Amino acid sequence: MHKISYSCEVHAPLDTVWKLLVDKVEKPQTYLPGVVQSRILQHYGNGVLRELKGDGLQIKEKVVIDKGHGEVHYFLLEHPLFTGRVVNRVVPSSVQSPVAPQLLTIEVDWLPKNEQAERLIRTAIPDQIQAEALILKQAAEAMEKETSQPFDASYAFGVTLALPFAETVARVQEELQKEGFGIVSEIDVKQKFREKLHKEFRDYLILGACNPGLAYQAFGVELNIGTLLPCNVAVYALSEGRTSVMAMDPVAVFALAGKEQLSELAETVKQSMQRVIAAL
């Protein structure tokens, strides 16, 4: 047996890389150079039997998906040149830091059937393994870049972070406190849906943030402004390692009152909230 492996760091959440590894099982043409056709012959509880064609070869392999260990195993059943298996593996590079990159490894453990196969495994196969890993790395990091950009709507602004939900909530609360905001209300949407509707929902927390000094000024201008307070900040999970934070745009909301003094005050509040988002 010849064992060849290639590893690289991927700066994206673990579940993003894992989803791509699973996607590669169903859509190998996207990730494997040289594959021109594929089809799933049978689905199992933890994998599939599939057939690949490309570069003049026809291959049949059994794929076993082991999410618990972050591994996808490819066992060659029919191959004109090799016997053996391939393992795709992704694990955190650090268990202490949730923002640490993931370690992606492709490991080939093949036995050549002839001299041609022997030459390939010593020359071309290592480069192919590296190219395959880099395709996955680039795809995962591109996905993360797209989802980590600031987001703006007509009524809110925010950002998506490569952090777990609980850690994001703690950071949001910390940064709000630095800007003089206290949390006057907290709504656990997931818990409420479970209690009232018996429905499951994603982790979703609505924090009612209030700066007492600024709120006092607002009430001095418009007593009914309480209907538009506090400033809500929504924190919700997109996946195990990605969380969005969205803050209400006070300029857009206070504009409903139609008073210039409130507009000026709202701009001050917005600048504070933007600093909170930027600091995350």
Domain boundary assignment for the chain: 2-146, 151-279
What's the predicted TM-score (pTM) here? 0.60
Name the CATH superfamily for 151-279: TT1751-like domain (3.30.310.70)
Supply angle C-alpha 168, 88, 71, rounded to 5.
65
Predicted pLDDT at 215: 95
pLDDT at 143: 79
CB 45 within 8 Å of CB 53: no
Q: Which positions of the chain have pLDDT values less than 50?
A: none
pLDDT of residue 201: 87
Report the pLDDT value the prediction gives residue 145, as an integer from 0 to 100: 67
- CA distances to 21, 35, 127, 133 from 106, in Å: 11, 17, 12, 7
Q: Which fold has domain 2-146?
A: Alpha-D-Glucose-1,6-Bisphosphate; Chain A, domain 4 (3.30.530)
pLDDT for residue 200: 86
For residue 166, how many C-alpha atoms fall within 13 Å in the half-sphere facing its CB? 1
Structure confidence at residue 238 (pLDDT): 81
